[in-house]
Amino acid sequence: MSTTDLDNAAAPPAARRFTVPVSLARYGAALRTPRGMIAAGILLALTAIALLAPVIFPQGYDVQSRDRFLGMSTQHLFGTDEYGRDIFVRTVYGLRTDLALVAIAVPVSGVIGSLLGLSGAVWPRFGNLMQRVFDVIIGFPSFILALCVVVVMGVGFASTVVAITILGLPGFGRLARSGALEQQNREYVVAARTLGVSRRRILTRHIVPNTADPLIVHGAIFAVNAVFIESGLGILGLGVQPPQPSLGSLLNVGMRYVREAPTYPVGPILVLLLLALALSMLSDSLNERVNRR
């Protein structure tokens, strides 16, 4: 009997059906709910605008003019800034920066955290060590820890990505470890182990697929936190640095010139809230559908 046969014999029909295609079907069902469709539509629209920014605005985000601090109008939807630059164009490029941060930091944090958590489930001593490390990270207020990271590394895009990645490790790691420990006691895993199926095959064929759902839902939730962490750092001037715009850095400048141009921060705030709302609605929809039994 081959190893594959042992796997199939060890896993009951219900366990074999609980695989990635079924999970993908549930994710698709989550996106077909009213809330999921609204969230997906908003995210697709924001992502499309951000990705097509160089095509829509080929002149770039740093074109200056003499029209300083203009209000909202049909020509300048969000007005102009202290250098006469179009705030709407800069907001679109700032959205592009924020989406890039989320697209890099959240998956990296998820992969590293999950690997650490799964390793901790396989090797208990390593798991106990990582739990202490996670406790230390959680012991710090999230924003204070992010500030410490950017102070040590220096402000900029890379340090913001590192700060967000570190903040996400405990959540992903603990979810992966608890899920793996729970799956290790399931009958089909015990049967596979009794039949001599390798630890690696049990991990990749049974444990990982059955712990993926909560990790994906947590990733959507953490994406909201990542957006606000970047914005908080940007407002303090410790995030992405000029001339590259981000939603946080635009808010930083907008707050400084709010007397000269009261509508300056309105556009970036609206886009930031819209992005966070869409991600939050998506995470809620995924969580509701994935946990439905």
Give the C-alpha separation, 252 to 265, whole Å.
Answer: 8
- Report pLDDT for 144: 94
pLDDT recorded at residue 2: 43
pTM of the model: 0.85
Burial annotation 38-55 (CB, 10 A radius, 16+ → b, else e): ebbebbeebbebbeebee
What is the rounded CA–CA span in Å between residue 260 and residue 157?
29
In angstroms, rounded to a whole number, what is the distance separating the alpha carbons of residues 90 and 81?
Answer: 10
For residue 243, cis peptide bond before it (omega within 30 degrees of 0): yes
The two tokens of residue 146 are 């992010």
The pLDDT assigned to 25 comes to 66
Cα 251-255-259 angle, rounded to 5 deg: 140
- Joined tokens for residue 194: 């009794």
Can you give the pLDDT at residue 191?
82
* CATH number for the domain harbouring residue 194: 1.10.3720.10
pLDDT confidence of residue 136: 93
Give strand pairing partners of 288.
Answer: none
Q: How far apart are CA 241 and CA 258, in angstroms?
A: 20
SS3 label, residue 80: strand
Could you give the number of structural domains in the chain?
Answer: 1
Structural domain including 86 reads 3-290
In whole angstroms, give the CA distance from residue 113 to residue 131: 11
- Output the pLDDT for position 26: 67
CA 220/CA 275 separation, integer angstroms: 12
> HSE-up of 256 (CA within 13 Å, CB side)?
11
* Average pLDDT by stretches of 10, the chain with 293 residues: 46 44 65 89 96 94 89 91 94 97 97 93 90 93 93 94 97 93 81 77 79 90 95 94 92 92 94 96 86 65
Structure confidence at residue 290 (pLDDT)? 74
Residue 272's pLDDT is: 96
